[in-house]
Chains A and B, each alone.
Chain A
Amino acid sequence: GAVVSQHPSRVICKSGTSVKIECRSLDFQATTMFWYRQFPKQSLMLMATSNEGSKATYEQGVEKDKFLINHASLTLSTLTVTSAHPEDSSFYICSARRGRLPSLRLTQYYEQYFGPGTRLTVT
């Protein structure tokens, strides 16, 4: 269980166009999904957090008007890179979180699972 898929796995687009990336949790409902970006030889950088049915929360320095996030259902979130430029070329990875309710003894923790990533190349 706990499978997260992304589509497409690779995309090449021309500068100035928009690209949509889909992220789906296949076997669980994800109230929260995350979008990360990874440049070559660097670690993952969190871009934004999205909760189903509400607006995404963007990390500092991430342009919300450029990276549009929609989380319309408990199993689907989309990231649209608008007016893409070559510097937006990167590996985009989504993640879906399955939460656990706290009990009297346990601190709440989350199971977070990652998609396989989407390689975006802007020419």
Chain B
Amino acid sequence: DAKTTQPTSMDCAEGRAANLPCNHSTISGNEYVYWYRQIHSQGPQYIIHGLKNNETNEMASLIITEDRKSSTLILPHATLRDTAVYYCIVGHGESGGSNYKLTFGKGTLLTVNP
């Protein structure tokens, strides 16, 4: 199983970009990188996912290095409501199989300060 490494916590000023790093050096060629976040006492919220190319949606951008061993989630203009634990996850299991699953690590607690 490809595992991920994230900083335990980060701070960001409101209105600035938040860049959250993730290392996944053992990722295999067909595994996607997913990002979720969890606000206290709620279920995780899907943010974005990617395979090789950089991705952008209305919430964030995902930058994946060429060797795919690391990625960065970018929240372009962080707000106080973005304070949450952010999880970087590599999907593992047989692609297309029923055992494909997401395993959560400890994530990064992002605190957005006023």
Binding site for B on A (CB under 8 A): 2, 4, 6, 32, 34, 36, 43-46, 49, 51, 57, 91, 93, 95, 102, 107-117, 119
Contacts and interface: CB of A to CB of B under 8 A. Distances in A.
B46 A112 contact: yes
A43 B104 contact: yes
A116 to B, nearest CB: 5
B99 interface: yes
Main secondary structure of the interface of B (DSSP, over half): loop
Contact of B99 (A49, A93, A95, A113): A49
A12 B45 CA distance: 26
Main secondary structure of the interface of A (DSSP, over half): strand
B43 A114 contact: yes
Given A57-B99, A102-B96, A93 B104 contact: no
Contacts of B57: none
B106 interface: yes
Task: Select the residue from A57, A109, A116 with max chain B CB neighbours within 10 A.
Answer: A109
A107 B102 contact: no
A116 B41 CA distance: 8
A44 B104 contact: yes
Contact of B49 (A6, A46, A109, A116): A109
Given A95-B43, A114-B45, 4 more contacts: A4-B43, A93-B44, A110-B100, A114-B43
